[in-house]
């Protein structure tokens, strides 16, 4: 339900038209914040991001920076099927497939790049993945970097297992 706020568009009265009193009222608000921040720092609403972050709640945890899961033997679970790149509305995933000759799983991502400066954090890649190989549960919020290259994640930067991994979910894991 959208709330409707009615704006009172009555003409200004004399005091308001003089303006000085209204400016003074504005200064009072600023002064109040100044003294509250000065004497009770705990009540400051602003966070000094990225040095300080707020703990994420509920589903927000599931739309954070990507990671690629690994199998027990350290190889990426990803098999470079390109479904995430296909689902991605921002075209931020770049994959090049390679071929394992020794492993039973023939295909692996030789290159897997996520361009976080293009990513819209929609989570479609995670939904599309048939191998349970990509996740967005690192609880790192991308941004706040000084160099553009730092927003460009390559495969080795993405490979990361979290507590509870490696899992054996995913079709190709039967072969691994």
| Residue 174 binds other proteins (CB under 8 A) | yes
Q: Tell me the backbone φ, ψ of residue 151, rounded to 5 degrees.
A: -85, -5
| Residue 89 binds other proteins (CB under 8 A) | no
Please give the full DSSP string across 20-53, using - where no structure is assigned.
HHHHHHHHHHHHHHHHHHHH-GGG-----TTTS-
| Residue 80 binds other proteins (CB under 8 A) | yes
Q: Which of 107, 121, 166, 176 binds other proteins (CB under 8 A)?
A: 107
Q: Which of 105, 114, 119, 125 binds other proteins (CB under 8 A)?
A: 105
Nearer to other proteins, 8 or 101 (CB): 101
Q: How far apart are CA 22 and CA 72, in angstroms?
A: 67
Q: How far apart are CA 44 and CA 41, in angstroms?
A: 6
Nearer to other proteins, 121 or 176 (CB): 176
| Residue 82 binds other proteins (CB under 8 A) | yes
Residues 113-172 touching other proteins, rule: CB under 8 A, are 130-131, 171-172
**Smallest gap from residue 82 Cβ to other proteins (A):** 4
| Residue 86 binds other proteins (CB under 8 A) | yes
**Smallest gap from residue 125 Cβ to other proteins (A):** 14
Q: How far apart are CA 93 and CA 82, in angstroms?
A: 9
Nearer to other proteins, 132 or 139 (CB): 132
Please give the full DSSP string across 110-158, using - where no structure is assigned.
EEEEEETTT-----HHHHH-TTS-EE--S-------SSGGGGEE-HHHH
Secondary structure letter of residue 90 according to DSSP = T
What are the residues binding other proteins (CB under 8 A)? 79-83, 86, 97-99, 104-107, 130-131, 171-172, 174-175
């Amino acid at each position: 339900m959208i709330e409707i706020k009615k704006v009172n568009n009555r003409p200004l009265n004399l005091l308001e038209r003089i303006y000085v009193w209204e400016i003074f009222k504005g200064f009072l608000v600023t002064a109040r914040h100044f003294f509250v921040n000065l004497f009770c720092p705990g009540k400051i609403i602003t966070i000094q991001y990225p040095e300080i972050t707020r703990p994420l709640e509920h589903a927000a945890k599931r739309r954070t920076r990507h990671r690629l899961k690994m199998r027990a033997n350290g190889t990426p679970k990803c098999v470079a099927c390109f479904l995430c790149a296909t689902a991605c509305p921002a075209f931020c995933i770049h994959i090049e497939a390679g071929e394992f000759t020794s492993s039973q799983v023939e295909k692996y991502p030789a290159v897997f790049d996520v361009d976080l400066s293009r990513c819209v954090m929609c989570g479609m890649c995670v939904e599309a993945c048939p191998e349970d190989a990509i996740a967005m549960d690192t609880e790192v919020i991308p941004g706040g970097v000084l160099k553009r290259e730092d927003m460009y994640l390559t495969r080795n930067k993405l490979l990361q297992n979290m507590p509870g991994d490696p899992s054996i979910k995913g079709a190709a894991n039967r072969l691994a």
